[in-house]
Every structure is written in C-alpha cells, then in structure tokens.
C-alpha cells in the first residue's frame, strides 16, 4: 500500500463519515470499516492502523480544546491563555508524544506542539494556529 495515498484515503473517509446525510454516512462508514479490515490483512497492517489511530487522537485532542475555548465567553487574551494552559497540560498529551505523520502532510512527522507559540483569529470561529514540533520532514 502506498502509505501517503492510504493516509489521504483514510482521512477522506473520516470526514465523509461525519456527513449529515445518513445514507452517505452509512456508505462511507462501511467503506471505512472495509478499509480497516483490509489494513489488518496486510503485512504491518496493525502498525499502519496504530499510526492512523495516533493521528486521530492528535486531531481529536486539538479539536476538543478548540471546542472548549470557542464555547468560553472570555475575552480573546483570556482564551489564548486558556489555550496555552490546555496545550501545556500533561493529561492532554500534546506537548510531546510518539512520532506521528501529520494527517494533511504525511511526509512531515510531528512529535508535539509548542504551547507558547500560538495565534488565534479575531473572528467568531476563533481559528487556532499551532506550531508543531517536527521530528523529520521527508
């Protein structure tokens, strides 16, 4: 399996399984399941699945922090402080973790985030910009 193509396919499927149309959601969920089963049958398939799970944990962790901050009614500077604190919190495991390919660019391997170097937009969406710790870039 081409690992880059497999990575992009997996994330395409994950986005599509969040579709509000139940028919599409069911279809893509089935394809995602079949993809996971096919991965387990490949040499090193369990290792590849573990990498995808770690990517998902990384994305989910940042997403949960983002949702928490967006729902907060504090001022922007207080939200930024809260974000820095959340990224620094060891229970979130975002400062340092086992190397994982970046979901949108698997040629870049990330090993954590720099909690002190962040920026946010002033828009209602409060978009986050994080600086990842890069292990290697192929």
Output the tens digit of pLDDT for each of the chain's 138 residues: 688 999 999 999 999 998 889 999 999 999 999 999 999 999 999 999 999 999 998 888 888 887 887 777 777 778 778 778 887 788 878 778 888 898 988 988 888 877 766 656 566 655 566 656 666 655
- CA–CA distances in Å: residue 18 to residues 15, 27, 50: 5, 11, 21
Instruction: Report the number of distinct structural domains present in the chain.
Output: 1
Q: What is the CATH number of the domain that holds 71?
A: 3.30.1010.10
Contacts of 10 (CB under 8 A, 6+ apart): 32, 35, 52
User: How far, in Å, are 62, 64, 127 from residue 57 at the CA level?
Assistant: 9, 10, 19
Which helix or strand (DSSP H or E) is residue 120 part of?
Answer: strand 105-120
* Whether the Cβ atoms of residue 87 and residue 118 lie closer than 8 Å to each other: yes
Indicate yes or no: pTM above 0.85: no
**pLDDT for res 16:** 94
Residue 27, domain extent: 3-137
């Amino acid at each position: 399996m081409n690992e880059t193509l497999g990575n992009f396919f997996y994330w395409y499927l994950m986005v599509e399984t969040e579709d509000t149309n139940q028919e599409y959601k069911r279809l893509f969920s089935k394809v995602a399941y079949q993809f996971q089963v096919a991965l387990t049958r490949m040499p090193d398939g369990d290792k590849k699945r573990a990498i995808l799970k770690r990517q998902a944990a990384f994305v989910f962790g940042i997403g949960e922090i983002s949702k928490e901050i967006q729902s907060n009614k504090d001022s922007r500077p207080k939200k930024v402080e809260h974000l820095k604190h959340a990224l620094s919190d060891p229970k979130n495991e975002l400062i340092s973790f086992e190397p994982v390919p970046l979901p949108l660019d698997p040629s870049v391997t990330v090993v954590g985030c720099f909690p002190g170097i962040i920026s946010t937009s002033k828009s209602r969406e409060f978009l986050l910009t994080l600086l990842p710790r890069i292990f290697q870039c192929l």
